[in-house]
């Protein structure tokens, strides 16, 4: 079976793992959890250089309307419960099929090294490369994390598919020249001035046919 791409990179916390449910559980309601998570995504979009992930999560809670003390408590609880993250339905099956075809897989995630290791362990598939924002020194959508992953995989941007979970990834992948499959599981709106993805789906079922001819 021939390949359309030499490797596939994934966002971790939105494209492969259902982090939204964990944030909702910690926040105590879907409305609070979504507001907190959405504010965090906006903050990382604007952050550029890396600063402590846990601080970003706490500040996002405060910006989303949580009292400062409450935001601090919930950020700590969220970090302590990363081991509860679960892959989206169908994600493991899709990754298994692509990996069995001999296609290298990698992760590019806006996370600390410590929590990144916990989150990656929740996907029972070996990855060739894992790049966190902390290791790259920058948050996505800055180009540095994507380029570091491409360098470590040894592939050109046009020969690597990126699977995004958040619309904000589309800004970074466009800068780097990565064709992008947007796994828009929760139905996010495409912000103004954000490039359209090559493909957009609510699940990962089309991934195998996208990667393999």
What order do you get walking across the sheet with 129-132 strand by strand? 129-132, 105-109, 7-10, 160-164, 180-183, 199-201
**Nearest residue to 16 (alpha-carbon basis) of 98, 78, 135, 79:** 98
State the pLDDT confidence band at 26, using cuts at 50, 70 and 90: very high
Let me know how long the chain is. 213
**Percent of residues, the chain, with pLDDT higher than 70:** 100
**What's the mean pLDDT in 94-115?**
96
| Predicted local confidence at residue 187, as pLDDT | 84
Q: What is the pLDDT of residue 122?
A: 97
Q: Residue 168 has what pLDDT?
A: 87
pLDDT tens by residue, 2-12: 789 999 999 99
The model's pLDDT over 119-147, given as tens digits with 9 standing for 90+, comes to: 999 999 999 999 999 999 999 999 999 99
pTM for the model stands at 0.93
| Residue (of 100, 120, 111) closest to 47 by Cα position | 111
Average pLDDT value for residue range 100-111:
96
Same domain (yes/no): 31, 53: yes
Do 90 and 179 lie in one domain? The reply is yes
Co-location of 59 and 158 in the same domain? no
Q: How many domains, the chain?
A: 2
Instruction: Indicate the average pLDDT of the chain.
Output: 92
CA dist 204 and 202 (Å) reads 7
- Is residue 31's pLDDT more than 90? no
Give the pLDDT of residue 113: 96
Q: Are 60 and 111 contained in the same domain?
A: no
Q: Residue 1: its pLDDT value, please? A: 60
- Same domain flag for 74 and 153: no
Last residue of a domain, one of 83, 107, 127: 83
Domain carrying residue 66? 19-83
Helix (H) or strand (E) holding 149: helix 143-153
89 and 78 assigned to the same domain: no
Q: Is residue 2 domain-resident?
A: no
**Residue 123 belongs to domain with CATH number:** 3.40.50.1000
> What is the secondary structure of 77-141 as a DSSP string?
HHHHTGGG--BPTTHHHHHHHHHHTT--EEEEESS-HHHHHHHHTTS-S--SEEEEHHHHTB-TT
Residues 66 and 162 in one domain: no
102 or 191, which is more confident? 102
Res. 18: pLDDT tops 90:
yes
Residues 72 and 56 in one domain: yes
Q: State mean pLDDT over 52-81.
A: 89
What is the band of 32 on the pLDDT scale with cuts at 50, 70, 90?
confident
């Amino acid at each position: 079976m021939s390949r359309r791409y030499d490797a596939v990179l994934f966002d971790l916390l939105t494209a492969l793992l259902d982090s939204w449910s964990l944030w909702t559980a910690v926040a105590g309601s879907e409305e609070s959890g979504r507001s907190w998570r959405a504010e965090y995504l906006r903050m990382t979009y604007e952050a550029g250089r890396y600063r402590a992930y846990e601080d970003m999560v706490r500040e996002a809670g405060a910006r989303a309307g949580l009292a400062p003390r409450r935001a601090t408590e919930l950020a700590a609880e969220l970090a302590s419960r990363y081991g509860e993250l679960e892959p989206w339905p169908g994600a493991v099956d899709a990754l298994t099929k692509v990996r069995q075809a001999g296609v290298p897989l990698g992760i590019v995630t806006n996370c600390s090294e410590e929590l990144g290791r916990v989150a990656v362990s929740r996907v029972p598939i070996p990855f060739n490369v894992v790049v966190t924002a902390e290791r790259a020194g920058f948050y996505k959508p800055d180009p540095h994390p994507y380029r570091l992953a491409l360098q470590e995989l040894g592939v050109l941007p046009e020969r690597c598919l990126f699977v995004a979970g958040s619309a904000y990834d589309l800004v970074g992948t466009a800068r780097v020249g990565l064709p992008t499959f947007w796994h828009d599981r929760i139905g996010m709106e495409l912000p103004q001035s954000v490039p359209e993805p090559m493909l957009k789906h609510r699940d990962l079922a089309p991934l195998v046919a996208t990667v393999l001819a």
